[in-house]
């Protein structure tokens, strides 16, 4: 573990980290630098490509440390090293953001955790859809996939986007079962439905918001082909809503985006979720509100970077 290369943080008045592995392609430091430069802060988020939790726990004690983006494989492991969680962090069961508060009684530094991925998903829809009532409020939501992003998507749909129920479309039944069991254990209300076949999909009400949380590839195995056919069954229904395609590497325009657009759906690129979850992190770290942050500039910088072929 001693091979971790430590960045020189002394050149900035405050510093944070992007803590995870692998992180070479991450746009997080670029996003946050754009924000800090835009609001006149001498801050920087430094990449800490490491599997060494004890090293990170030492580094965060620096008085000039303001917080961290926490990515795979540390999103769950970090939770036992925090003093408190926000409702989002607790409900999703994974933390992607560490921020600092002070205990009003003792003045002691408190390490807090939240999950801004849920805000990234929520804001992707609300910032891009002019009439949420007509598009997705009060309708079922649909989640494609079964990993960590899928868990964030269920939370956003159920708790923040007025989804009446949530359908899951995924090639692995046991993954879906695990998510549904977790959601029930965490007190989610309403129906959570695993849609395994096209026949089942045909019988169900059309959806308003779809969050696709799978890598961009053509379906090969029988399960993958069935999963795509189930998704296409929902896309063909008469109500056309919006799809957030979380995958944006190596390109934000994916097969699912293409299929969805052809079927008449509004497509929201995954960079939107990445940008709004990052801006939410900066709200925690800087104390500023979204309208005080350089939102347009961040969109420009990220779009330019992706055009260059960076992730």
Based on the fold, state whether residues 253 and 132 are members of the same structural domain. yes
Based on the fold, state whether residues 231 and 156 are members of the same structural domain. yes
Q: Would you give the DSSP letter of residue 136?
A: T
In what helix (H) or strand (E) does residue 173 lie, and over which residues does it extend?
A: helix 173-185
Tell me, yes or no, if 75 is annotated catalytic: yes
Contact 263, 236 (CB under 8 A): yes
Phi, psi for residue 66 in degrees, rounded to 5: -105, -15
Q: Which of 23, 36, 27, 15 is nearest to 100 (CA)?
A: 15
Average of per-residue pLDDT across 133-137: 98
Percent of the chain with pLDDT over 90: 86
Catalytic residue from among 11, 58, 75, 305: 75
Q: Tell me which residue range forms the domain holding 240.
A: 119-270
307 pLDDT tier (thresholds 50, 70, 90): confident
Q: Would you give the DSSP letter of residue 292?
A: G
> Could you tell me the CATH number of the domain that includes residue 133?
3.40.50.720
Torsion of CA 47, 50, 55, 57, to 10 degrees: 70
Two tokens, residue 302: 């990220």
Based on the fold, state whether residues 195 and 181 are members of the same structural domain. yes
Residue 182 lies in a domain: yes
Based on the fold, state whether residues 187 and 59 are members of the same structural domain. no
Based on the fold, state whether residues 92 and 226 are members of the same structural domain. no
Helices (H) and strands (E) in the chain, counts: 12, 12
- Write down the pLDDT at residue 10: 95
pLDDT at 136 over 80: yes
- Write down the pLDDT at residue 248: 85
- Domain count across the chain: 2
Name the domain boundary from 253, 270, 287.
270
Distance CA 142, CA 145 (A): 10
Based on the fold, state whether residues 127 and 154 are members of the same structural domain. yes
309 pLDDT tier (thresholds 50, 70, 90): confident
Q: Which residue has the higher pLDDT, 128 or 25?
A: 128
Residue with tokens 């350089």: 294
Based on the fold, state whether residues 187 and 238 are members of the same structural domain. yes
> Taking the CA atoms of the chain, what radius of gyration do you get in angstroms?
20
| pTM, two decimal places | 0.92
- Write down the pLDDT at residue 311: 47
Residue 265 lies in a domain: yes
Name the domain boundary from 95, 115, 135.
115
- State the average pLDDT for the chain: 94
Based on the fold, state whether residues 99 and 43 are members of the same structural domain. yes
Based on the fold, state whether residues 107 and 137 are members of the same structural domain. no
Residue 59 lies in a domain: yes
> Could you tell me the CATH number of the domain that includes residue 14?
3.40.50.10860
Based on the fold, state whether residues 80 and 133 are members of the same structural domain. no
pLDDT at 310 over 70: no
């Amino acid at each position: 573990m001693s091979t971790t290369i430590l960045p020189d943080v002394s050149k900035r008045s405050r510093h944070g980290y992007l803590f995870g592995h692998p992180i070479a392609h991450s746009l997080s430091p670029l996003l946050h630098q754009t924000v800090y430069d835009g609001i006149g802060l001498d801050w920087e988020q430094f990449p800490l490509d490491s599997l060494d939790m004890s090293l990170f726990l030492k580094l965060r004690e620096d008085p000039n440390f303001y917080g961290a983006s926490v990515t795979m494989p540390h999103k769950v492991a970090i939770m036992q090293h925090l003093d408190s969680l926000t409702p989002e962090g607790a409900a999703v069961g994974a933390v992607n953001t560490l921020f600092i508060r002070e205990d009003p009684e003792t003045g002691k530094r408190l390490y807090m955790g939240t999950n801004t991925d849920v805000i990234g998903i929520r804001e992707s829809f609300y910032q891009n859809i002019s009439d949420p009532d007509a598009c997705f409020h009060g309708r079922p939501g649909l989640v494609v996939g079964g990993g960590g992003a899928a868990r964030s998507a269920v939370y956003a749909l159920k708790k923040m986007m007025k989804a009446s129920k949530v359908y899951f479309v995924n090639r692995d039944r046991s993954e879906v079962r695990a998510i549904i069991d977790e959601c029930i254990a965490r007190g989610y209300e309403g129906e959570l439905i695993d849609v395994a076949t096209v026949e089942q999909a045909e019988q169900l009400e059309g959806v308003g918001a779809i969050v696709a949380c799978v890598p961009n590839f053509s379906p090969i195995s029988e399960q993958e082909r069935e999963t795509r056919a189930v998704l296409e069954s929902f896309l063909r229904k008469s109500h056309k809503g919006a799809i957030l395609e979380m995958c944006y590497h190596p390109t934000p325009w994916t097969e699912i985006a293409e299929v969805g657009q052809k079927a008449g759906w509004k497509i929201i690129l995954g960079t939107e979720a990445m940008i709004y979850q990052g801006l939410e992190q900066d709200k925690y770290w800087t104390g500023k509100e979204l309208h005080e942050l350089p939102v347009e500039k961040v969109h420009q910088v990220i779009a330019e970077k992706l055009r260059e072929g960076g992730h």
